[in-house]
Amino acid sequence: MDTRPIRFLHRGQVVEVTPDRSTRSVLDWLREDVRCTGTKEGCAEGDCGACTVVVGALDGHGRLQLRSENACIRFLPQLDGKALYTVEDLSPPQGPLHPVQQALVDGHGSQCGFCTPGFVMTLWACQQHHAAAGTKPTRQQLADELSGNLCRCTGYRHILDAGERMFDLPAARFDRAAVTAALKELAQAPALAYSAPNPAASPAR
Ligand code: FES
Ligand code: FES
């Protein structure tokens, strides 16, 4: 069978990957192959949200949509033609913090190193969605967004507070037009010949 590498945007570049098997998870690729270890593994079966990343894709109208997804149950071939964002993309190692992170710090919503990156990425996807629409989520909508990020150690009140506060902080620059253009260019590639697993096996959160 003819194949070509999987191509997707990661850290501002088009990366090409030929995985050893079509079921290699995005989480394993991140942590083991490219050492982006900010994304954590908790349950490894799509329940806890520790591995939350954000995937960007164009909708039927050519508009960029950003969705939080569980990297542990997302397979690499499913990233073809898309953009992958992890917690490393939000702020440089020496800071300043991204507004989502700053809101968590300000509101005492920063928790352990396993769940916090996932909370950050879910909140960022939520922020991007509402910023593009010119809206703000209600507290209940924020709670719904965070329903896939589990922590039984503390509580969610401070995280929900941060979700509200992040809209009051100066927005961080995210060049949607450039990402949209890059994804349109990627879409020109020949169809992927990998037999990607059924997307229904990794439901969007
Ligand atoms: Fe728990 Fe992925 S590691 S949802
Ligand atoms: Fe991180 Fe509970 S899992 S504080």
Per residue in 3-18, pLDDT (tens digit) is 789 999 999 999 999 9
Contact 150 CB / ligand 1 (< 6 Å): no
Q: What does the DSSP assignment read for 72-85?
A: GG-BGGGGTTSEEE
Half-sphere exposure of 22 (CA within 13 A, CB side): 13
Distance 165 CA to ligand 2 centre (A): 21
**Residue bearing tokens 């959160």:** 205
Taking the centre of ligand 1 as the mean of its atom positions, its distance from the CA of residue 39, in whole angstroms, is 10
90, 98 in Cβ contact below 8 A? yes
Q: pLDDT tens-digit profile of 91-104? A: 988 889 999 999 99
CA of 144 to the centre of ligand 2 (A): 18
pLDDT in tens, 40-89: 999 999 999 999 999 999 999 999 999 999 999 999 999 999 999 999 99
Q: What six digits make up the tokens of 134?
A: 């010119």
* Contacts of 10 by beta carbon, 8 Å cutoff, 6+ apart: 34, 83, 84
- Counting ligand 2 atoms within 8 A of each CB, the residue from 40, 111, 119, 158 with the most, and so the one to mutate, is 111
Summary mean pLDDT of the chain? 91
Give the pTM. Answer: 0.91
Find the 181 Cα to ligand 1 centroid distance in Å.
31
Confidence of residue 193 (pLDDT cuts 50, 70, 90): low
Q: Looking at ligand 2, which residue's alpha carbon is closest to its atom 3?
A: 151
**Ligand 2 centroid distance, CA of 160 (Å):** 15
- 44 Cβ inside 6 Å of ligand 1: yes
DSSP 25: B
The atom number, within ligand 2, closest to the CA of 114 reads: 1
Q: What is the pLDDT of residue 150?
A: 96
Asked if 186 contacts 7 with a C-beta cutoff of 8 angstroms, the reply is yes
In the predicted model, what is the mean pLDDT of residues 174-198?
80
Q: What is the CA radius of gyration of the chain?
A: 17
**Which residues are registered as beta bridge partners of 75?**
25
Give the C-alpha separation, 105 to 43, whole Å: 25
